Amino acid sequence: MAQIEVFENKYPDRDYYITHVNEEFTSVCPKTGLPDFGTITINYIPDKLCLELKSLKYYFLDFRNKGIFYESVINQILDELVEACKPRYMEVRGDFTTRGGMHTTVLAVYDPQKRGGFQK
């Protein structure tokens, strides 16, 4: 996987949300080998570090040919982003395009203080 880079948060004493949206996420269904498409939304409250966008873009590109289920994609992204920037709060949401008449949304949350987040 591409290394996720971070930079120093200039406002570590303030809670504020950062939202990143990747509308062109792709991976591969491990059962059929067909491509999966979706939108990945990351909402987080940074602590001392923020995610750097160029590295995040290349990180997402590494999923392009990876056979992985939706649930695993979202949980893996959450785990790796939390490890990289150690936020106060983070949620990763995947809205995957309709296939076979089914639309799937997966939401994973890192919330050590149980502070809540965006309305679903």
Active-site residues, by number, are 29, 36
Q: Is there a contact between 109 and 90 (Cβ–Cβ < 8 Å)?
A: yes
CB of 25 closer than 8 Å to CB of 38: yes
Taking Cα atoms as reference points, which of 13, 19, 11 lies closest to residue 81?
Answer: 19
How much of the chain is helix, strand and coil, in % rounded to 5? Answer: 20, 40, 40
CB atoms within 10 A of CB 76: 16
Between strands 18-28 and 89-99, the pairing is: unpaired
